[in-house]
Chains A and B, each alone.
Chain A
């Protein structure tokens, strides 16, 4: 049963040190505000799960929240490296980082298996490649009907899923549209879930019968954070801040510029700054 609370209360109640945490959103609807709150609350030893770690996990890794990263593509899309991820993996700063690396197909299938309450996912993949040599969780099964050997990975069952959605209604039902990624699967695979939303409306009103809706009884906590996906975007609300993704490359390249930025924009700030940033993107695009 979804409870509406502040973002700080939601993270306090549902994210603990050492938890496995899946903050999903495939380019669209990345829950940046929630990530910043986890950083402010100083969570440690997290296993961070995400197909594309993106800037959000670069920030959390650089601030020392993570012990392990489970991922399938670790870059700054269209820009280059995630420098904080690389510094942690290559140099152990600010702490050593374990990795479990997959392909997108494997992680998408693993989330789906988690949502389906299955122990593992099966798919046609990982043929002729080296990742199975370095990731012992990549195994195989022989089809009992055809004899075909298929790849398997364990289901993803996070302690907590965190997503950003477009809106919730008064009852706490949650609606997503546009590029919906693996968010529905992540929430249904997780023990607990936090959803930040752009707004709470009285009623969703006219909508496609096939809009992605997470019923209120599948969500643990809802926090209203307008702009909470910035510099990612929210379909129909504000655009992706591609300029910020480019600027991040220079901010994150060195430890001191990174720490200065995080201090000013995360540690000394709160969720309320997101609405202003998202409005600026909308204004620039108009």
Chain B
């Protein structure tokens, strides 16, 4: 890392988005969730991965939006796509067909095996909080080659036990996916605002592999609802470069201008 190009002032969310973007490769075909995943995927496309294929579940394939979409089907996504297919075709041929290398998801809650809940807090019939539900996630989680997850670390989000499993991570540990006949890798990275976690190769439990600059192990444990495991060698996550931050901030500024004035 060139020190002169390294930013010293950035927010935890910017650190998270930049780290998530760096996980993507130029040759990936990526199924993009809305919100934080969308920002990371487009940052990757505008920096180190100009050749990445971004796919949104509304049917837009190889889309290159100038501004971040508010919804999964903003006109911007269709206008800048190589092609747009119907929603049944998207889920049948492209997702189930095994054409997607990475699914990029967020969630409301996650457990230590990277199972996700976006359905309900409390009981299903008498919920404390009714969340939007699964959408595309249940099939994205099992039909993409691997899954990256981006979520802010907090005790309400990183919980010991999920009230509802909306999409499958590593189930209850080693062998869970295989027992269900699932052949894809599942979650391989969870990128948070404090650290990066990856499933331990043997136990499949999420394990901290890198810690963002200035963050302590105690801070991470304080925001996580289960006893956190740390890898034998924990790295420091490289901070954002000025270029990455400039591109990300300009993307957010363009987006705010585009979404602000049409009520």
Q: Is the CB of B88 within 8 A of A179?
A: no
Q: A28-B78, A128-B177, A179-B60 are in contact. Are A104 and B87 (CB under 8 A)?
A: yes
Instruction: Say if the beta carbon of A209 comes within 8 Å of chain B.
Output: no
Contacts of A233 in B (CB 8 A): 75
Q: A128-B176, A149-B181, A242-B262 are in contact. Are A179 and B84 (CB under 8 A)?
A: yes
Q: Is the CB of B261 within 8 A of A130?
A: no
Selecting from B10-18, B21-29, B137-145, B237-245, the interface stretch reads: B137-145
Contacts of A72 in B (CB 8 A): 133-135
Q: Mark B93-135, 1 if CB is under 8 A from A, else 0.
A: 0011000000000000000000100010000111100111111
Contacts of A93 in B (CB 8 A): none
Q: Is the interface of B mostly helix, strand, loop or mixed?
A: loop
Q: How far is the CA of A247 from the CA of B41 in the complex (A)?
A: 27
Q: How far is the CA of A239 from the CA of B263 in the complex (A)?
A: 11
Q: How far is the CA of A214 from the CA of B263 in the complex (A)?
A: 32
Q: Is the CB of A103 within 8 A of B130?
A: no
- Which of chain A's residues 60-89 have a Cβ closer than 8 Å to chain B? 71-75, 77-79, 81-82, 85-86, 89
Nearest CB in chain A to that of B137: its residue:
A103
The answer, among B34, B59, B135, B180, for a CB contact under 8 Å with A179, is: B59
Contacts of A90 in B (CB 8 A): 126-127, 130
Q: How far is the CA of A124 from the CA of B59 in the complex (A)?
A: 19
Chain A contact-residue range equals: 35 or more
Q: How far is the CA of A85 from the CA of B143 in the complex (A)?
A: 30
Nearest CB in chain A to that of B177: its residue:
A128
Q: Is the CB of B70 within 8 A of A26?
A: no
B34, B168, B181, most chain A CB atoms within 10 A? B181
Q: How far is the CA of A240 from the CA of B134 in the complex (A)?
A: 24
Contacts of A212 in B (CB 8 A): 86
Q: Is the CB of A131 within 8 A of B143?
A: no
Q: How far is the CB of B166 from chain A (nearest CB, A)?
A: 6
Q: Can you report 18 A-B residue pairs in the complex whose CB atoms are below 8 A from each other? A: A26-B58, A73-B133, A73-B136, A74-B130, A75-B132, A77-B73, A82-B132, A89-B130, A104-B87, A108-B90, A124-B96, A128-B177, A181-B58, A182-B87, A235-B78, A240-B70, A242-B70, A243-B260
Residues of chain B having any CB pair with chain A under 8 Å: 34-35, 57-60, 69-75, 77-78, 84, 86-88, 90-92, 95-96, 115, 119, 124-127, 130-139, 142-143, 164-168, 171, 176-177, 180-182, 258-263
